[in-house]
Structure 1
Amino acid sequence: MNKQIIAHLFELWEQIGKHTDSFNKERGFAFTKPEPDSWPSKVYNIEVGQINIKDVQRRIRTGEIPNSIGIPECENTKQLLESNNFCSTSKVKAMAMSTEQLYYDDIDESEFTLVDSKNKARIFARTASASFGYLVDTSVVQSLINKENMQLFLGRCKDDFPSCGMVYLDQNGISGIHMIGTKAEFQGLGMGKKMTRFLINQSIKSKSNTVFLVASEAGERIYHKLGFSTYGNLESFSLTGP
């Protein structure tokens, strides 16, 4: 299951890269690098027997490719990176749940709005950047509007939109929920939980029997309570030193 969840995430990164003209497939790896270094700047799909790791190092140092490599649980890939001055920088949990016989009837859909305009894309980018602490560029979000297999949403609170989230339906008919965030001043009000439940409902409407996500260690506990199970990790590495 870990490989399926990570493959779903890599597929999402590839699709975003194609929509932003920033996807590149090389021998032994792929990368997505929207300018200006916006989410999701990542190297992924590492093939140990094919990749020229020295060339990757050089191109990272020149800024040609992102200095962030995402890998599923794979000891050979990890050893390759660690033996070439790459260090682990983060680890998130690969999670999944079944949606059979599940639907949240208590969700008020009027509290959520579909991102379907340039102005809403700007708000989504601002909310996501504030929630996650890294750049989510408006131009990237705009490129994802009105795509058949992607939906981006904002959560409303009075006159503000302090929460965000998205659903991606992959080529296997499985939905993943992503970019679930809440601005700091609105955290603790249950808005992230509401967004998650709303996105699960949207996945069910797409006839997905399974929902994937990746979560931080803190988020893992929350998602467990909603019925998600953990299936290993996605680890990120960055080049350090000369």
Structure 2
Amino acid sequence: MILAVQHQFEFWRHIGQVGGYFHQYKGFSSLSPEDATWPSKIFNLEEQHIQGLKESVTKYQLAKSLAVEENVGIEELLKVQGLTQTSSVEAMTMHMKEEPKYAGSSDIEKVRDVLGAQTFARIASEAFRYTIYEGTISPLIQSDKIQLFLGKHKGDYVSCGIVFQDSNGDSGLHMIGAKKEYRGLGLGKKMTEHLLSIALRNDSEYIHLVASKLGAPIYKKLGFQHQGNLKSYTI
């Protein structure tokens, strides 16, 4: 499995375990937060369990969104079972020893309390245009593997980002976004560079992320390299 995808799956598993909504079934993993759209997801699907997936989703009342590493054979089996592709993002990795050092920003603060979690949830919801609940974010503050950050612009919190350190010691950058009216000001790049500085403090040799087609060129300029694609299907 591509390291960036493996990292993403571990991130999902960890936030589900911290929040109490991770479930391991025979042949796949699932995140099923109560009354929440994010991060509802099925992932880590084993090929031999594709045929019974739809029945399992109905039986256990699981999310209908499935994430898989790009694989022609598996994707053809998914289509035969009636699943439809909804999106594709690039799995990207940077080797930190080959890249320059990054400095943190005084305009970016670490989330340390419930009020910060509420602010993070609000900004992330506006940035990504789907609801992210404070109740999903708050438990993450207690994790020693996750750090959440909020960025300011002229005194107001307008951007967000997460660093997660996995079991390999690699760091991943997640949920980098800014409120719509503040895009184009370089706030996403500033947040990314701040998160990279945190990854350096983690002594991570490899940094991972997944990026949309619009975001990928920006990350490539920073030194991230394309490793493959992570695709989403719906049942």
TM score, norm. by length of structure 1: 0.92
Letter in 1 for 2:28: F
Provide structure 1 residue ranges, at least 5 long, that are not aligned to the other structure.
none
For 2:219, the equivalent position in structure 1 comes to 223
Correspondence for 1:147 among 139, 143, 161:
143
Shift of the alpha carbon at 1:132?
0.6
Aligned counterparts of 1:53 and 1:44: Cα–Cα separation in 2: 15
Shift of the alpha carbon at 1:59?
4.7
Letter in 2 for 1:213: L
1:99 aligns with 2:79: no
For 1:73, the equivalent position in structure 2 comes to 70
Aligned counterparts of 1:173 and 1:215: Cα–Cα separation in 2: 21
Provide structure 2 residue ranges, at least 5 long, that are not aligned to the other structure.
none
Q: SS of the residue aligned with 2:223?
A: coil
1:17 aligns with 2:13: no
Say if 1:181 and 1:135 are closer, same or farther in 2 by CA, change over 3 A.
same
Q: Which runs of 4+ in 1 moved over 3 A?
A: 58-63
Say if 1:170 and 1:25 are closer, same or farther in 2 by CA, change over 3 A.
same
Letter in 2 for 1:35: E
State whether residues 124 and 177 of structure 2, in contact with CA within 8 Å, keep that contact through their aligned partners in structure 1: yes
Aligned counterparts of 2:42 and 2:142: Cα–Cα separation in 1: 26
Aligned counterparts of 2:59 and 2:117: Cα–Cα separation in 1: 31
Q: SS of the residue aligned with 1:144?
A: helix
Query: Could you give the per-residue CA deviations for residues 188-226 of structure 1, whole angstroms, max 9, x where no partner exists?
Result: 000000000000010000000111000000000111111
For 1:3, the equivalent position in structure 2 comes to 2
Shift of the alpha carbon at 1:80?
1.6
Shift of the alpha carbon at 1:35?
2.2
Greater mean alpha carbon deviation, residues 77-86 or residues 186-195: 77-86
% identical equivalent positions = 37
State whether residues 18 and 143 of structure 2, in contact with CA within 8 Å, keep that contact through their aligned partners in structure 1: no
**What is the correspondence of 1:66-215 to structure 2 with a 5 Å cutoff?**
66-100=63-97, 102-105=100-103, 107-108=104-105, 110-215=106-211
Letter in 2 for 1:73: E
Aligned counterparts of 1:208 and 1:52: Cα–Cα separation in 2: 35
Shift of the alpha carbon at 1:83?
0.3
Shift of the alpha carbon at 1:102?
2.3
State whether residues 46 and 77 of structure 1, in contact with CA within 8 Å, keep that contact through their aligned partners in structure 2: no
Say if 1:37 and 1:60 are closer, same or farther in 2 by CA, change over 3 A.
farther
Say if 1:63 and 1:187 are closer, same or farther in 2 by CA, change over 3 A.
farther
State whether residues 174 and 212 of structure 1, in contact with CA within 8 Å, keep that contact through their aligned partners in structure 2: yes
Aligned counterparts of 1:14 and 1:157: Cα–Cα separation in 2: 33
Name the count of aligned residue pairs: 234
Aligned counterparts of 1:220 and 1:63: Cα–Cα separation in 2: 36
